[in-house]
Amino acid sequence: MSPRAAWQLETMGFTEVYDFVDGKIAWMVNGLPVEGKGPHFSMAGEVASKKGVHDCVVGSTVQESAREMEARGDSFCLVLNDEGIVLGRLREKHLDRGSSALVETVMETGPTTVRPIERAKPLLERMDKHNVSAMVVTTKKGKLVGVARRKDLRRLVEESG
């Protein structure tokens, strides 16, 4: 939407036009102040974090990822390309510690993701229902924003009432 608006302004003679591509969601999930009447609906992006998220890149081996996952005590690894796009997920069940296979050949493709503006409360309800402990959060284009953990979503929902 904003790219079209930027072009439209240029068409109307504005000469110094910027498109803030990260948008309002980036502003809000970074905890920056907003104005308005509300209500503010808590969103997944507010608790999405890369902290503690193990990722591995296309081209690495299962063995390399297995070592890293074991050392960190992780149960999964997100497989990203050079652009940070989430291509798949490697779970413990995919691991063969002696394997020199590339992660992209054994990973689970197309893991479920949500966008940062996904409302937290209904997301938490779905995660509770299906016993999902963490949800991958990406941009519309598939770039990793972080992982929203159920315990963090619950805290957010409880705090926001």
94 touches 62 (CB < 8 A): yes
Give the residue among 26, 99, 19 at the shortest CA–CA distance from 65: 99
Task: Tell me the HSE value of 58 on the side-chain side, using a 13 A CA sphere.
Answer: 13
Does 132 contact other proteins by CB under 8 A? no
Site for other proteins in 95-114 (CB under 8 A): none
Choosing from 46, 136, 139, 147, the residue that interacts with other proteins (CB under 8 A) is 139
Choosing from 38, 73, 98, 161, the residue that interacts with other proteins (CB under 8 A) is 38
- The region of 32-40, 74-82, 105-113, 148-156 touching other proteins under the rule CB under 8 A is 32-40
Sign of CA dihedral 68, 111, 20, 118: negative
| Nearer to other proteins (CB atom), residue 5 or residue 132 | 5
Maximum Cα interatomic distance, the chain, rounded to a whole number of Å = 63
| Nearer to other proteins (CB atom), residue 38 or residue 98 | 38
- Pairing, β 134-138 against β 113-114: parallel
Choosing from 82, 112, 141, 159, the residue that interacts with other proteins (CB under 8 A) is 141
Residues making contact with other proteins (CB under 8 A): 1-10, 12-28, 30, 32-40, 116-117, 139-141
